[in-house]
Chain A
Amino acid sequence: DQQVKQNSPSLSVQEGRISILNCDYTNSMFDYFLWYKKYPAEGPTFLISISSIKDKNEDGRFTVFLNKSAKHLSLHIVPSQPGDSAVYFCAASRGYGQNFVFGPGTRLSVLP
């Protein structure tokens, strides 16, 4: 049973528009979340994080929103660029020192 779900396997967005990637989780004990970005034939790279004491975290073009009551988080990329085309993984953990559980990923394609 997947504890972290990314229900959209793929997403296509026009360059300059907003990309919204979604992640749902089932375990209410999760309180720390990460987003990773992965290019083909490379390992994932850390993008942005959020803890459950916040509902929003922003870093440049990337913003992560957390809705604890809905057990849902989303990553917004504005404006989207062709270099953002990659697979994005959501990951969650139950807190300090706990392992992360990864979602299956969403492949984002940003079209020029």
Chain B
Amino acid sequence: DGGITQSPKYLFRKEGQNVTLSCEQNLNHDAMYWYRQDPGQGLRLIYYSQIVNDFQKGDIAEGYSVSREKKESFPLTVTSAQKNPTAFYLCASSMARASETQYFGPGTRLLVL
């Protein structure tokens, strides 16, 4: 059964701590994306990757880092430099960057303790 999985569903971060959100897809998609959603706002692009070992900053990359060592995986690290990390994080993938259809995972809600 193909799809995108994100884990964990809820994540708690302490002050000054880095946390990593997992995103895995078995759709054989080349492109993957990370979005952040805040109340009353649309999805904002954090990072995207068109191919393994390559990724680009989106609109709000500061305080975040990513890696793309495998086609299936695109983990997002929320670093201590991100001063307002509380949000709902969505991972997506598409066949190619130009593809109209992005398939989204169920999301991870990050809360700061």
Contact = CB atoms under 8 A, between A and B. Distances in A.
Interface of A: 2, 4, 9, 32, 34, 36, 41-46, 49, 89, 91, 96-97, 99-105
B98 A4 contact: no
Contacts of B35: 102
Contacts of B97: 97
Interface string B82-106: 0000000011100001101111111
B40 A104 contact: yes
5 contacts: A32-B100, A42-B106, A45-B104, A46-B100, A89-B43
Nearest to B40: A104
Contacts of A42: 106-107
B43 A46 contact: no
A105 B42 contact: yes
B45 interface: yes
B42 A46 contact: no
Interface size class on chain B is: 20 to 34
A105 to B, nearest CB: 7
Interface of B: 4, 9, 35, 40-45, 48, 58, 90-92, 97-98, 100-107
Contact of B42 (A4, A9, A45): A4
A36 B35 CA distance: 14
A4 B42 CA distance: 9
B102 A46 contact: yes
A44 B100 contact: no
A46 B106 contact: no
A23 to B, nearest CB: 10
A108 B42 CA distance: 16
A60 B91 CA distance: 28
A42 B91 CA distance: 11
B106 A41 contact: yes
A102 B100 contact: no
Given A46-B101, A89-B42, A104-B40, A99 B48 contact: yes
